[in-house]
Amino acid sequence: MRLTLFDLDNTLLSGDSDFEWGLFLASQGVHDREAYEARNLAFYEAYKAGTLDIDEFLQFQLGPLGRHSREQLDRWHRQFMQAHILPLISGPARTLVREEQVRSDLVAIVTATNRFVTAPIAAEFGIAHLVATEPETGPDGQFTGRVSGTPCFREGKIACVDVWLASIGKRWEDFGTTVFYSDSLNDLPLLTRVSHPVAVNPDPTLRARARTERWPILELAA
């Protein structure tokens, strides 16, 4: 059996959905645009450098979810998908997903970006399974602005995949072939966990590691 996992940002997307969501909210006047965009960019640069403090970032990124109703957030997200996300989905990315859906027994997106932002994106790709950072919700179904459980980031991605597999009655050992596509040095823990790591549009650190390990390197052009 074959299990295929995809990172999302800068892998299936030719950009970062977390970063774009922050820009979108600033464009809607939800925040002071200049101050918010500067902090958003600083977090993004830390992520690319492998120095991101995930707890600090999640306080920043999930906070707006707790300050607005689900109805308002859903309206914003529909606009966000059209203006910011669909232009980041390339034909080659869609083709790769379709090919893996044919040859794999189970396919999922595994992303550090929270489920509110990424669930509609997974649906756009036709991928039913999403393993993501979970925003906490209260008894009323509204977001609290806090994270629930383990962030799906670095080593946390392995823990979150373990929990997801168990929830559907599966284990790593059920799969003779496990594949993970990613662009980022932050995903080295999961890349080294699978039997077939693939570097996609890799950052310099991951590109160097992929060359050393002789992992496939894939460039998904827009």
What is the per-residue pLDDT for 222? 55
Residues in CB range of 138: below 8 A, 6 or more apart: 144
Of 104, 81, 113, 79, which is closest to residue 10 (Cα–Cα)? 113
Catalytic residues: 7, 9
Residue 150 sits at φ, ψ, to 5 deg, of -80, 125
CATH assignment at residue 152: 3.40.50.1000
Q: What is the pTM of this model?
A: 0.94
Domain limits at 210?
Answer: 1-222
| pLDDT string in tens for the chain (222-residue length) | 999 999 999 999 999 999 899 889 988 888 777 777 788 788 888 888 889 898 898 888 898 899 999 999 999 999 999 999 999 999 999 999 999 999 999 999 999 999 999 999 999 999 999 999 999 999 999 999 999 999 999 999 999 999 999 999 999 999 999 999 999 999 999 999 999 999 999 999 999 999 999 999 999 865
Distance CA 5, CA 218 (A): 15
According to DSSP, the residues that pair with 106 across neighbouring strands are 3
Distance CA 181, CA 201 (A): 10
Q: Are 134 and 32 in contact (CB under 8 A)?
A: no
CA angle 153, 156, 161 (to 5 degrees): 105
User: How many domains, the chain?
Assistant: 1
